[in-house]
A and B are shown apart, each in its own frame.
Chain A
Amino acid sequence: MTLPPFLALCACSSHKILTSDDLRSELVSANSYASEMEMFIDYVRQGQATKTFAAAHARQLATEIAHSEQELASTTPQPEDEKAFKSCKGELEFLRRELPVIPTLMGNDSALRLERAKVAASHHQFAATSLL
């Protein structure tokens, strides 16, 4: 009977408790990534980026987002922050998944416009749920 709580305690002990300030910092960071992705799509749509640059930048940004996800995954939020925490994780995962798509859409303006709208909608929803 005592084993499961003990195991749960062990599992949690490797997780750092995420303070509200730290979570706020993660939310600001995720919001920044979402804005950056919107700007990046606009930049690509305007034909300002080379194909190689777009692909490499998308890869670098995705790596940075994956790093933030990893950091977040190693923490446990306080109960009152659970909703914002989940929203942050979800947004980061969405951005990381969508980033590699952008360079493949280069030259296809309507597809890029749709992608931009998709990212903006997710960003909007994230901002609303995380109370940024």
Chain B
Amino acid sequence: MKKLLGITLGIMTALGGFVDFGQIVFTMQAGALFGYSLLWAIVLGTAAIIVYMEMCGRVAVVAKEPVFAVVRDCLGFRFGMVVLIASNLLNLITCAAELGGIAIILQLLTGWKQKLLVLLAVMILGLIIYSFKFQWIERTFGLAGVTMCVIAVSAVALHPNWHQLAHGLIPVLAPPKHPLLYFYFAVGIFSALLMEYEVHFYSSGALEEDWTPKDLGENFMVSAFGSLLGALITVGLLVLGAMVFLPRAIFPQTLSTTMIAGAFPFAQKALVLALLGGLACLCGAALETALSGAYNVCQFFNLEWGKNLSPKAVPVFTAGWVAMLVLAFGISVSISRPLTLVNISVIFGMVVMPFTYYPILKVASDKNIMKKHANSKADDITGLVFLVLITIAAAAAIPLMVLTHSGQPQ
């Protein structure tokens, strides 16, 4: 019973950081433009994150190797360093975007000035990271993020056409209208679901919490069902975009507009709930990106790290997340539209993805390192299929971004 409770808690916790600013905006915009027809991209992205997350967790538990130690060993120091810089720049941009989003939601709740709210958010988040243990950070924001389920409830309450929704599971390879835009949003949704900071945070957590091979069952359950719970909310976002915005020819360009859709069929209390859920998810994502930046650096250079250790015992790690928060604050207050940062983080996230996915797949398949916990044949085939898909999406991401002017409809 205690084990089951732990797993349930883990599944709900996996939600923290899963739904972030990029995912909310990209998915709703996709629904507003293409109805349910990009549902397949959510399914594909969810399957990919489950595969990647499970492998990262397994590698961390069995090989006791965090992601960036694996990247360094597999790609070599020089190229690994390039990947580390790219990955941390991405974390920084994402963190800045999330901070901007947090300030927007706080303004919708309090009416205070946005720049003041960004400062307040950074100070509170910094204090939380400094004083809370890893498990508390993970659980607090994960569980608070469950309030985002109001999105899925709103979507169901609007009575979507289930037949049409199911039709969206089939990819359209030659869409009749705006094909470039269609594939831009397909890549965007896929990428937003696969944001690597979530996985790096998760696998570092497995090491922080001293998981052993006995916990591999829990690792699978949390990866699979936690991601599915997040995917359910993402489907809700797509449905709301399709049902609230598409018929009115609205292309949502502000976070506040997406929040209106989040509680559309209900009264004020649901709107407040959606805002609080969004706030929890964005706070979770901001914390995870800041911590991921510090984890990545320490793991790559083989330095002491750990949120459960005293900040003085891990000076580089502590300086790392503080620097991430301070720099993200600077970027966030100097850019007037956080949505610009969201576009950059989602698209560049896809470009970096193959370079961290491949080393993990390689180690997870290695019988010398993983012994009896190495990938099975089926795991290897699945992993390779996703590697090909991720590589195709990564190659297409920037050209699509340029050709569609970052997804502007015409």
Interface: B213 (CB within 8 A): no
Given contacts A25-B405, A56-B107, A56-B256, contact A47 B268 (CB under 8 A): yes
| Contact in complex: B256, A48 (CB < 8 Å) | no
Q: Of residues B253, B255, B268, which shows the largest number of chain A Cβ atoms within 10 Å of its Cβ?
A: B253
Count residues of chain B with CB under 8 A from any CB of chain A: 31
Which residues of chain B have C-beta atoms less than 8 A from A47's C-beta?
267-268
| Nearest chain A CB to B408 CB, angstrom units | 5
Interface: A39 (CB within 8 A): yes
| Nearest chain B CB to A68 CB, angstrom units | 9
Given contacts A39-B248, A56-B108, A56-B256, contact A63 B336 (CB under 8 A): yes
| Contact in complex: A28, B409 (CB < 8 Å) | yes
| Contact in complex: B271, A24 (CB < 8 Å) | no
Interface: A53 (CB within 8 A): yes
| Contact in complex: B267, A48 (CB < 8 Å) | yes
Report the tally of A-B residue pairs with Cβ distances under 8 A.
Answer: 79
> Which residue of B250, B266, B268, B410 is within 8 Å of A39 (Cβ)?
B250
| Contact in complex: B253, A64 (CB < 8 Å) | yes
| Contact in complex: A56, B336 (CB < 8 Å) | no
| Nearest chain A CB to B185 CB, angstrom units | 15
Interface: B251 (CB within 8 A): yes
A17-44 contact mask (Cβ, 8 Å, vs B): 1 or 0:
0000100110011011001101110010
Interface: A118 (CB within 8 A): no
Interface: B123 (CB within 8 A): no
| Contact in complex: A60, B254 (CB < 8 Å) | yes
| Contact in complex: B251, A48 (CB < 8 Å) | no
Given contacts A55-B111, A56-B256, contact A50 B409 (CB under 8 A): no
> Which residue of B254, B266, B268, B275 is within 8 Å of A64 (Cβ)?
B254
Count residues of chain A with CB under 8 A from any CB of chain B: 28
Closest to B408 in A: A25
A32 CA to B301 CA in the complex, in Å?
49
Interface: A61 (CB within 8 A): yes
| Nearest chain A CB to B270 CB, angstrom units | 8
Interface: A108 (CB within 8 A): no
Interface: A49 (CB within 8 A): yes
| Nearest chain B CB to A18 CB, angstrom units | 13
B175-209 contact mask (Cβ, 8 Å, vs A): 1 or 0:
00000000000000000000000000000000000
> Which residue of B244, B248, B257, B268 is within 8 Å of A48 (Cβ)?
B268
| Contact in complex: B249, A61 (CB < 8 Å) | no
| Contact in complex: B249, A49 (CB < 8 Å) | no
Closest to B249 in A: A35
B97-130 contact mask (Cβ, 8 Å, vs A): 1 or 0:
0000000100111110000000000000000000
Interface: B167 (CB within 8 A): no
A42 CA to B266 CA in the complex, in Å?
13
Closest to B252 in A: A36
| Nearest chain A CB to B407 CB, angstrom units | 11
Interface: B260 (CB within 8 A): yes
| Nearest chain B CB to A96 CB, angstrom units | 14
Which residues of chain A have C-beta atoms less than 8 A from B336's C-beta?
63, 67
Q: Of residues B110, B251, B254, B410, which shows the largest number of chain A Cβ atoms within 10 Å of its Cβ?
A: B410
5 additional A-B residue pairs with CB within 8 Å, beyond A38-B248, A50-B272, A52-B109: A21-B410, A48-B266, A49-B271, A60-B254, A61-B256
20 A–B contact pairs at CB < 8 A?
A29-B409, A36-B248, A36-B250, A39-B244, A43-B260, A47-B267, A49-B260, A50-B271, A53-B256, A56-B107, A56-B108, A56-B111, A57-B256, A57-B260, A59-B107, A60-B254, A61-B254, A61-B256, A64-B337, A67-B337
B residues neighboring A (CB under 8 Å): 104, 107-111, 244, 248-257, 260, 263, 266-268, 271-272, 275, 336-337, 405, 408-410
Q: Which 10 A-B pairs have the closest CB atoms?
A: A57-B256, A52-B111, A32-B251, A35-B248, A56-B108, A25-B410, A56-B107, A36-B250, A35-B250, A24-B410
